[in-house]
Each structure stands twice: as C-alpha cells, then as structure tokens.
Amino acid sequence: MKHLPLMLTLGLAITLQASAFANPLRPDKQDKIAVEVVKAVTEIMTPDNMKSTGTQTITTSSGRKRTFEFDSYSGNKGERTLTRYTKPAAIRGQAFLTLNNADDIWTYFPRTKRVRKLASHAKKQKVQGSDFTYEDMGGGDVFMTKFTPKYLGDQEKNGELCWTIELIGIEAEDPPYPKIVMWARKSDYAPVHVDYYDENNFNTKSLSLTDIQNIEGIPTAMKMEMVDHQERSRTIMETLDVTYEWEPPDNFFSERSLKK
Amino acid sequence: MKSINRLCEDPSPTLRINSGRSISRRSCDPGGTIIASAKRGRAFQAREDNLVNYVSRVSVLILFLLPLLIFAQPQFFGYFESEASTMALGSETYTYGFNKLRLDVEARPNDHVLIGANVNFEKYWGKTTWNVYDFIPGYQDLGAVMNIALNDTILLDNMYMRLRFPFADLTVGRQQLSPGVGYAWNPTDIFNTKSLMDPSYEQTGVPAIRVEVPMVGRFSIDAVVDPVEDWDKSTKQVWFKGGVKHFDFALTRAEYTWYQIPLATGTYNFGTKVERMLMGGSIVGELLGFGVWAEYGYNDLDLSIYGSCPTCTDYLLPLLTTPFEEWVLGLDRTFDNSLYVLAEYFHNGYGIARKEALSLSDYVYAFEGVTHSLMQDYTFVYIMHPTFDYVSLSAIAFANLNDNSGVISPMLEWNAFQNTNMSVQGSLAWGEADTEFGLQDWGLILNVTSNF
C-alpha cells in the first residue's frame, strides 16, 4: 500500500499527459472544432489582398548563409501570388507568379527576358534554394481543400495555449504533404507552429511563426522560420513591411507584371 | 576566297542575313556548333543592315534617352565575366578567352516609364583569329582561309524606353526579344539563334517597336516591328497568346527579309533576298506529370517583292523558294530527389538530311545563324542536380541524328559567393571526322561571373 500514492500520482500524470492530445470531446464535436480552427487559420493566412517586402535568409547544413530581399503580392485570398526578388544582384528581377493556389507557376528570368511556365512537379521545388517550396508560398486555401482536419486537443506551444490540429491529406486532391500538424493560438487562431510529415510519417520540416503583430486587424507573423530536418538547413523569412489594404490593379497577376 | 574573307571581317552594308541581322564578327562566331566557344549569345557587334543605319539609329536613341536616364535617378548594375577555354581541334590545341563587363542602367521616372540600357565591354585574349574552314569537314587540309577576328569591342547592346498604359505596354528601341517555348531551339524565334552549349545565355538586342496588349484573363496580343523605309520589307511579328487550364499557347505570324547565299553560283557575296513568312505556334503545359512543350513554324518563301534573282539558275530557284517546317518537342521533370531532367527533339526541314549532300553554304548558313541548325534532326538533353550546398552538377548532351555525331558536356557550378558563380565545363565530341561535331575533339571552359 505504501506504493499507492506513487501509483496514483503516476496514473494522474499519465492521464493529464494523454489529455493534452486525446481530448474528451465527442468525435463529431472534435471534427467541428477542427474545421472551425482550420477555417479561421485559413482566413488569417489568406487575406483578400496583401503587399509586402521581406528578407529570406537561408542557412545551409554547413552553416553558410545567403540573404535575399523580395517584394511579394497576393490576391484573391492567396489564390494568386507574385514574388519578385530585388537583392542580391545575381537574381535581381527574377520573379515568379502562381495562380490557382500554385497549380500554375510561371517564372521570369531577366537575363534572358524569358517567361517560363513550370509544370506542377515544380510546385515541390525549393524557391531559390530555400526550405520553402512554391507550394508553401502560394498555397492559398489548401488546408481547407486538400486536407481532412482532426482536433487533437489543446497544447502549449511557443509559450501560447494552442489548438492542435492534425491535417491528413486527401489523396485525390494531390495534397502538398501527406500529413501536417498545426498549432494555432486559442486567443486569435494565429498559427504559431506547423510540422510537415512525409509518407513514412517522418517530420521532414517545421515552420515556426513568431513576432506576431496585429497589422490592420490581422495577426501577422513577422518572422517565419522553416527548418528542414532531413537536410539540416533553415530559412528565415522576415517581413519588413506589409499592408492588407492594397488593391491589385486589373490583371495584376499576369505575365505582364512578372516582366515589370 | 576574297569575298568569303570579307564576309566575316567586314559588316558590309550589302551583306545582310536573316531578319535584319548583318553578317558580323558576332554572327561569324562559330559558337553555334563549335563546342569550345560556348557563349554564342555574346554580342560582338550590332546587327544592323548597315553601319550608317546603325550609327544613326543609335545616335537617335542616345540623344533621346540618355538625358532621361541621367535625370531619373538611374540604377547601375551588371556583371563581370571572365572565361578561359582550351580546345583540341585536329592535331592542334588552342587556348583563348575573354573578359566581359556588362553595365546595365535603368531609370524609372515614374510608375509608367522605364528606360533601360546596357553596354558590353569585351576584351579577348589568346587565339583571337579563327579559320572557319578548320570547322568544316573536308576543308581543314585544303589551305583555304576564311578568318574570323574576335576584336575587343564596346557595344551599346540595348537601349529602350517602355511606356506602360492601362491598355498596353509600348517598348521602343534596342531590346532583347526571346520568343518561343523551346529551350535549345525556337522555330518561331526569327531574331536569335542559341548556342547548344548554353541556350540560356542572354541574347543581343534587336532594334524594334513592341506593343503588348493584355486582354481578358491570360490572353494577350504581342506585336513587334523593326521598320525600314518600305513597310513590306520591314520585319514584323505578331503573337496571340492565351492560356486554358494548365496549358499556355501562342499563335504567331511573321514576315521578314531573309537572306540566302547561293554559293553554287560562285558569287558568294551576292546574297539573295527572300521574303520569309512564318506561321506557327507553341504550346506548353503538363502531361502525365511531365512538363511538356511543342513549338512549330511553317515557313513560306517568296522572291516577288525583291524582283527576280539575277544569280539564280533554274536549278537554284526552287531551292530558294521551297517552303519548309521546323518543330521542337520537349519535356522536363524534377524528381523527388531534386534531379532535373530536360529533353528536346528538333526537326528542321531546311536542314540537310545526309552529310554527303552538305555544301559549304550549308555550313555558313548554320554558322551565321541563318538557319537554326545545319542538318535536320537533333536531340538535346540537360540533367542537373544540386548535389552540395551551392554546388550543382549538370551535363548537357546534344546529338545530330543525321550524321550520328554529338557532344557530351559535364559541368560543375559553384555559387562561391552570393553574387559570384564559378563553373568548369568540359566537352567531349563523338562521331566520325566528317561529321558536324565529330571533327572536334574535346574542350574545357572555366568561367567566373560576378554580379554587382
């Protein structure tokens, strides 16, 4: 009997630990929460329009760094994006346009003044050697359309109490990843961390979203860090300036703007 | 041989080839098929129909655009490129290279106006005089001379002003034009010929007026004119572009003056003017997970607007006016391990099908960029893998399927610093000695390019 308190304590600890993920809600209630959270996160991550400038710093596994600067535009709730690099000199003017949530991608090379349409396999290519793919940067509402969400419970992440949502890819929709686990703040649904998994359920990449500021009513992560666990590289994207009140001119997301 | 010598050493006003391009030292650069001279896109000299015309046009551009450039807070950028090459040809080994400074300047007085220009400074070293006959099977040992001299140059390559209106973009001046979807060949490109060793190298500017009119969605009209005194003889090309689902397409029509040189007449320097009318199109999209593209051009030839051909015999006349087709098919894919593979097949109906039927003029056509290829059927393969941090390994292979010759060229590229790339490119040719590529042995190119 002298071990009873210890067993009770252990049992309580295990129960509490488990409850952090396995929540007591009924499955239909869990699904409802998951859908609501994903919808709210998508709303935050895909504002109607956005115009920003930022930097992208890539650190390779050997510790070498490269920093790029870019102007970025998105419209129609992230369904269309245009990104143009302004620095360094070697890639100045290079730009890419994504339409239909990155199902269609065009790149522009200023040296040859040529626009090239990329096939969909290019969606999974790294943008300028970074740890972000074209699909990561132009995904739009893919969380809602290409995944089935599941609420895993509440958990503290990056010092914030978060909804924890698992997203399982719908195979017929050609999801960018087979599985994603996402943490979104309970206070305002702002995502703070995302883990990406491969077919073997291996956590290949992790995205941390920090320095979240309220910009024109929208919680905005001013710093995003993507870590590639396989290649041991990381890419930090920092937003220097952003506005959601920008209205794209007619036909802005077109080949014409790529070549500007 | 005097007239032939003159062809490549003097951009004579009477010697004009292909879509408003003069025969120049640049276009005599045998880089199109000569493996160790990689950068065919280098501009050695302006492609105007004569020097007077060139000087007058450039002067107008400078007088008009330079003040705007200066007073509109210009931005300066560009790159420095240094290249050293060695190649084995027959029993000889040659070493040569160049240093190039490209200085770009751009100014945007307001959101609707862009003024751009670039000047290329090029200095050559090592072997700078080449005998074209050394690259033509059957002519190497005859003692004949058709020299190309690569002289140091300063070239105003591009100088243009782009005006952006709500309904259209208008670009006036010398500008780079790169139509078509093919990587190594572009049947619908009447302005450029690419080097198979580096198809993505920049092209020389073309004097033109260009209007791009966006329409609904992904549809647009794009028109280019390089006007001369007679509208019928001006270079004109128009594209109707569009996109449906995951496919982009373009339809094009072009009319321009083309030049053929009936060598068989023995009067080499009397180029015959022909009106070339191109109808074609391209499509690019995706099929079975591969990026796919196709580009097609049907070319009709007409002598009528230039009157009769005094040097043409009954035998030659049909040769000069027979329509021909060119087309290219390509595909590419990036695999999950980041390996990128691209392949193209090119057919040129104007090319020669059998090596026994090749004449000197066919080689000159190909060297000059008059034709997109010497013979009819070619393949091109490019493989690239980003193997290490900022180091990629790649290889190009291209083959002439008609004479069974080709070149394989492995390359290591290192992004040594943020703005500096270094590369080592080797090349090894195969085929018999009387074939397009087989008469060349091997080559090695070291290149450093630093952007600023």
Cα A27 → chain centroid: 27
Are the beta carbons of B276 and B301 closer than 8 angstroms? yes
In total, chain B counts a number of residues equal to 452
Structure tokens at B119: 């000047």
pLDDT at res. B55: 62
pLDDT tens sequence across B99-132: 999 999 999 988 899 999 999 999 999 999 998 8
Are the beta carbons of B393 and B374 closer than 8 angstroms? no
3-state SS, residue A211? strand
Buried b or exposed e, range A208-225, using 16+ CB within 10 angstroms = bbeebeebeebbbbbebb
Of A67, A125, A251, the CB nearest to B334: A125
Least confidently predicted of B78-87, B196-205, B313-322, B352-361: B313-322
Least confidently predicted of A116-130, A238-252, B180-194, B339-353: A116-130
Does the pLDDT at position A165 exceed 80? Answer: yes
Q: Which residue of A has its CA nearest to B218?
A: A254
Q: Which residue of A has its CA nearest to B170?
A: A256
3-state SS, residue B111? coil
pLDDT band at residue A139 under the 50/70/90 scheme: low
Q: Nearest-CA neighbor of A182 among A41, A22, A36, A28?
A: A41
* Beta strand pairing call for B129-131 and A65-75: unpaired
CA distance B254 to chain A (A): 19
pLDDT tens sequence across B218-269: 999 999 999 888 888 899 999 999 999 889 999 999 999 887 655 544 444 4
Structure tokens at B127: 């072997």
Q: Is the peptide bond before B323 cis (omega within 30 degrees of 0)?
A: no
Structure tokens at B411: 């390359």
CA distance A58 to chain B (A): 11
Find chain A residues with C-beta within 8 A of B77's C-beta: 89, 92
Q: Which residues contact B318 (CB under 8 A, 6 or more apart)?
A: none
Find chain B residues with C-beta within 8 A of A105's C-beta: none
* C-alpha distances in Å from residue B35, one per residue of A102, B376, B425, B437, B442: 39, 19, 11, 8, 8
What is the rounded distance in angstroms from the CA atom of residue A44 to the CA atom of residue A70?
22
Of B214, B333, B418, the CB nearest to A66: B418
pLDDT at res. B389: 85
Q: Mark yes or no for CB contact A113/B176 under 8 Å.
A: yes
Mean pLDDT of B356-384: 89
Of B389, B420, B421, the CB nearest to A60: B389
Of A64, A114, A117, the CB nearest to B178: A114
Mean pLDDT of B409-413: 97
pLDDT at res. B304: 76
CA distance A108 to chain B (A): 12
* C-alpha distances in Å from residue A3, one per residue of A8, A11, A12, A17, B69: 9, 12, 14, 21, 87
Find chain A residues with C-beta within 8 A of B243's C-beta: 104
The 8-class DSSP code of residue A117 comes to: E
Mean pLDDT of B143-148: 84
- Residue in the block written with tokens 């005194």: B229
Are the beta carbons of B244 and B197 closer than 8 angstroms? no
Are the beta carbons of A48 and A108 closer than 8 angstroms? no
Q: Which residues contact B288 (CB under 8 A, 6 or more apart)?
A: none
Does the pLDDT at position B25 exceed 70? Answer: no
pLDDT band at residue B57 under the 50/70/90 scheme: low
Residues of chain A whose beta carbon is less than 8 angstroms from a beta carbon of chain B are: 60-62, 64, 66-67, 88-90, 92, 103-104, 109, 111-114, 116-122, 124-126, 129, 251, 254-256
Q: Which helix (H) or strand (E) holds B334?
A: strand B324-334
All domains of chain B in start order, with CATH: 2-451 (2.40.160.10)
Find chain A residues with C-beta within 8 A of B286's C-beta: 119-120
Question: What is the ipTM metric for this complex?
Answer: 0.81
Does the pLDDT at position B54 exceed 80? Answer: no
